[in-house]
Structure 1
Amino acid sequence: MATLFSSQPGDEGLPGDKRARVMAAVMTTTLMGVFDGAMINIALPSMASAMQVSASHAVWFANGYLLAAAMTLAIFAALATRFGFRPLFLSGLALFTLTSLGCALASSAGMLTAMRILQGIGGAATMSIAPAILRSVFPGRLLGRILGLHALLIASSTAVAPVLGGAIVDTLGWQWLFAINILPGSIAFLLASKALPRSDTGAHASFDTPGAILSAALLGSMIMAANSLATPMDAAHAIRIETIGWALLATLSAGMFIFHIRRASNPLLPPVIFKSSRFTLAALTSLSSFISQGITFIALPFLFQSVYGFSPVLSALLFTPWPIGIVLIAPHAGRWADTVSAPLISTAGLLIFVLGLLLLATLPDAPALWDICLRSLVCGIGFGCFQSPNNREMLSSVAREYASFASGVLSIVRTFGQCLGAAVVGVLLALLANETRQLAVHVALWIAVGTSATAVLLSLSRLRKPA
């Protein structure tokens, strides 16, 4: 850890002491954002009861945050190049922290939903540029290590959040899921305000308003289409008007967005970053792997509870080997990526990840607990070995002036990968409602194997690309 804050002649970025403060602020903010998005699902029944609303209404306490964040990720990545990292990060962090207090004090479902939407906007402002901030303050020789720690934090907190969220709801009440953000959010704001440098930006350039509108429409309609697919439906009417409408809007918005950015003088998302095959392949690899992770994280609780009959607490505990595997390997993988080929390490990690998913998909009807834990551990080791080198490849394959755009794409593919993975499980549970729950879950796990195998093929193809 001390190596991260040591300085050598020729190092770009910030001095070691300021690096430490920026890292603490970014990591704390990332931790709050990931936990906030992952913990709330387990509290939805309690929140619906407290607010006296239906379960379908309560779902928007979670979806409002996700939708607002997804619709604004690309916008904030572009705004960072216009106004700089400092004002955007501080504004987003302040909004996230204040709306956390608003969520905790909400006295009605409408107020809570509104606070969650604003909280999602604040979260998007910080998470969309967090990797780019780390790249700007750390020298290139340490990029893999710091991104390894960042990836470790995201992956492990995503897996641990449901356990912690359940404990908080049971002991303190759902309001504390939001109230716990206030103190760390305030500390992170103070650290960032003192350590984040002011930068010379392109504030004179015009902002791409049409691109921002099209981006929000595209990302928002994709989320809504996925959500509509994941809601219960009759198998005979699987394709509904609602889903078709959102899908058509997403397709139309995508076409208009691509047409626009190719002709705009200062586009929201510069097409030039996708001219790098290294960047494009890394982004597609990341998308495929997060679809697999999203499928697995949703399918396994149904397998553990509905098929094996485990309690919710035991089911949550069976997830812990996954983050343990990430903790064991991710920092080392990031360090290796600074000296060895990042795509090579990522590909090796994906192969281990596919093996772990195969092991989970072939679990016996009555497995021992240690057997489940061992198979989950393999998944965690594989994903931890893959993620940080792949993130390094994405950020290092574009010029520094495009770092915020690359960071935004990184956040977008992670968000949509997990969302599409959840939608796949929802569709299967709905379509196979008349079959056994075990069949739906196992089909989902085999789809996860397939998407992760696709990620392997994408990753292998970039090994032939020049560094």
Structure 2
Amino acid sequence: MSDNTNLQVPDGVPVPRRYWAILAIGFGITVSVLDGVIANVALPAIAKDLHTNPSLSIWVVNAYQLAITISLLSLSSIGEIWGYRKVYTYGLLLFSCTSLACALSDSLSTLIIARTLQGFGAAAITSVNTALIRIIYPKRFLARGMGLNALVISVSAAAGPTIAAGILSVANWPWLFAINIPIGVTALLISYRFLPPNPIKIKGRRFDIEGGLLNAVTFALLIAIIEGFTHDINIYIILIIVTIAILTGYVYIKRETKQDYPLFPVDLLKIPIFSLSILASVFSFMSQMLAMVSLPFFLQRVLGKDEVATGLLLTPWPLATMIFAPLAGFLSDKIKAGMLGCIGMLIFATGLFLLATMPSNPSNIEIIWRMAICGCGFGLFQTPNNSTIIGSAPSSRSGGASGMLGTARLMGQTMGASLVALMFKLFPGHSMHVSLLLGCIISVVAAFISVLRVGNKI
């Protein structure tokens, strides 16, 4: 692999600029992750207000997630070529403008178009955020930076339904999108002023357009297959899509193996500790979504809780993550990442098992302390795992590592949510318990994968 680079790589940015830079990252990630989950709560209101079929309104969510999934790796590659700061700020600009378009939409079609474009903006933000963290923080503090990033992502994802319920209690659904505008503009101004440029420039490298198209088609087909299994699509249609996906994926991966800087980072996946960490990340987010999607149904439909009460009972999870994700950054200096990640996933699995086996009519306290255990374990795992993914990649491939980290999260969450839908069909009346037990098993698998990294060095 040829690599024309400038070897004078600064080790982080000085304080207080570092704090402003990480604040810009935090704002951008908050709104992009939040918008992936916040619209779910408003779908009934959106369908009613726009006079459309509730089943069609689901595309308000799907269009956003699909746009992110098919463009994430392409945008991380563009970040390595143009600069992470440029991709991040353009993403914030697009996200803020399309948030306004979403808020002003007067039909489902215009809302779906705006959400698709908003998804591309979110993908630009997500694709390079961890690559920027690698530049912002000195190497010795990278785990702390990744801990804060894991904290923001976890809290934003878990707190989404609560925030949505709070907004909808005082305003109508367009405000779910309008609230992004001041946050996005603030993040944009701070980013323009304080985010550092790429310290490494790769000369003569161009974006692989053909690879980008193959990447988009491959991941779109993967999402279609996952969704097909949970929405009663004819099995023959699914088999046709699977066949096309296999052929497209084969051509895509085969082509990427011949590239110096592959869009799908096959070069990075050859690094054992990187590939193990990515696999562990996929499984961790699968188990997270198995819990976070199934629990609200149990709390509302079985226990009769309202939306606000449900949000409050889910809150101990992100609160515990808020404490333990940064703590894991400090512990990473003393405990190997593979072992710390294993401990975190085993604690997480324990929390899921305790939730699955709690009494049929549990008190609020019985729910709260179990949720806190899950958040504790999830926070302990994410920080060392994400640090390993970014730290094990060469500096010139930080964008590829960042994109792959985001892709692992999205694929894990998509598969986890789809598995919940499948459990609803296979085990009516017991779907929450089965989903949590399945999440427990998957978490144990993630713990086993994590501990395999102990003998590998970054």
Shorter chain as denominator, the TM-score bin is: over 0.9
Are 1:50 and 2:49 an aligned pair?
yes
Are 1:461 and 2:452 an aligned pair?
yes
Q: Which residue of 1 aligns with 2:340?
A: 345
Q: Which residue of 2 aligns with 1:103?
A: 102
- The whole-number CA distance in structure 1 between the counterparts of 2:41 and 2:84 is 33
Q: Which residue of 1 aligns with 2:404?
A: 409
Give the partner amino acid of 1:228.
Answer: G
- The whole-number CA distance in structure 2 between the counterparts of 1:248 and 1:308 is 43
- The whole-number CA distance in structure 1 between the counterparts of 2:304 and 2:407 is 35
Q: Which residue of 2 aligns with 1:13?
A: 12
8 Å contact kept, 1:425–1:444: yes
Pick aligned residue for 1:359 from 332, 341, 354: 354
Q: CA deviation at 1:320?
A: 0.9
3-state SS, counterpart of residue 462 of structure 1: coil
Give structure 1 regions of 4+ aligned residues with deviation exceeding 4 angstroms. none
Q: Which residue of 2 aligns with 1:118?
A: 117
Q: Which residue of 1 aligns with 2:3?
A: none
Give the partner amino acid of 1:79.
Answer: I
The 5-angstrom pairing of residues 106-255 of structure 1 reads 106-199=105-198, 201-202=201-202, 204-231=204-231, 233=232, 240-255=235-250
- The whole-number CA distance in structure 1 between the counterparts of 2:235 and 2:299 is 31
Aligned identity (percent) is 34
Pick aligned residue for 2:393 from 391, 398, 416: 398
Q: Any idea what the Cα deviations from partners look like across 1:379-433, whole Å, max 9, x if unmatched?
A: 010001110111001111111111111111100010110110000011121234x
Structure 1 residues 11 and 142, CA, compared in 2 at 3 Å: closer, same or farther?
A: farther
3-state SS, counterpart of residue 268 of structure 1: coil
Give the partner amino acid of 1:258.
Answer: I
Q: CA deviation at 1:79?
A: 0.6
8 Å contact kept, 1:229–1:426: no
Is there any run of 5+ residues in structure 2 with no aligned partner, and where? 1-8
Are 1:443 and 2:434 an aligned pair?
yes
TM-score normalized by the length of structure 1: 0.93
Q: Any idea what the Cα deviations from partners look like across 1:174-230, whole Å, max 9, x if unmatched?
A: 001110111111111111111223345336213222211111111111122222233
Give the partner amino acid of 1:178.
Answer: F
Q: Which residue of 2 aligns with 1:5?
A: none
Q: Which residue of 2 aligns with 1:315?
A: 310
Q: CA deviation at 1:339?
A: 4.3
- The whole-number CA distance in structure 1 between the counterparts of 2:208 and 2:282 is 26
Q: Any idea what the Cα deviations from partners look like across 1:344-398, whole Å, max 9, x if unmatched?
A: 2111111111111111111221222211111111101000111011100111111
Pick aligned residue for 1:274 from 265, 269, 276: 269
Give the partner amino acid of 1:397.
Answer: S
Q: Which residue of 1 aligns with 2:83?
A: 84
Are 1:375 and 2:370 an aligned pair?
yes
Are 1:428 and 2:427 an aligned pair?
no
Pick aligned residue for 2:379 from 379, 384, 389: 384
Q: Any idea what the Cα deviations from partners look like across 1:310-358, whole Å, max 9, x if unmatched?
A: 3332222210111111112111111221443222211111111111111
Are 1:301 and 2:276 an aligned pair?
no
3-state SS, counterpart of residue 173 of structure 1: coil
Is there any run of 5+ residues in structure 1 with no aligned partner, and where? 1-9
Q: Any idea what the Cα deviations from partners look like across 1:214-273, whole Å, max 9, x if unmatched?
A: 111111111222222333x4xxxx763343333333322221221111123442234221
- The whole-number CA distance in structure 2 between the counterparts of 1:198 and 1:281 is 30
8 Å contact kept, 1:230–1:422: no
3-state SS, counterpart of residue 16 of structure 1: coil
Which has the larger displacement, 265-274 or 135-144? 265-274
8 Å contact kept, 2:286–2:414: yes
- The whole-number CA distance in structure 2 between the counterparts of 1:40 and 1:248 is 33
Q: CA deviation at 1:461?
A: 1.3
TM-score normalized by the length of structure 2: 0.94
Which has the larger displacement, 51-60 or 214-223? 214-223
- The whole-number CA distance in structure 2 between the counterparts of 1:36 and 1:385 is 25
Give the partner amino acid of 1:391.
Answer: N
Q: Which residue of 2 aligns with 1:35?
A: 34
Aligned-residue RMSD, C-alpha = 1.6
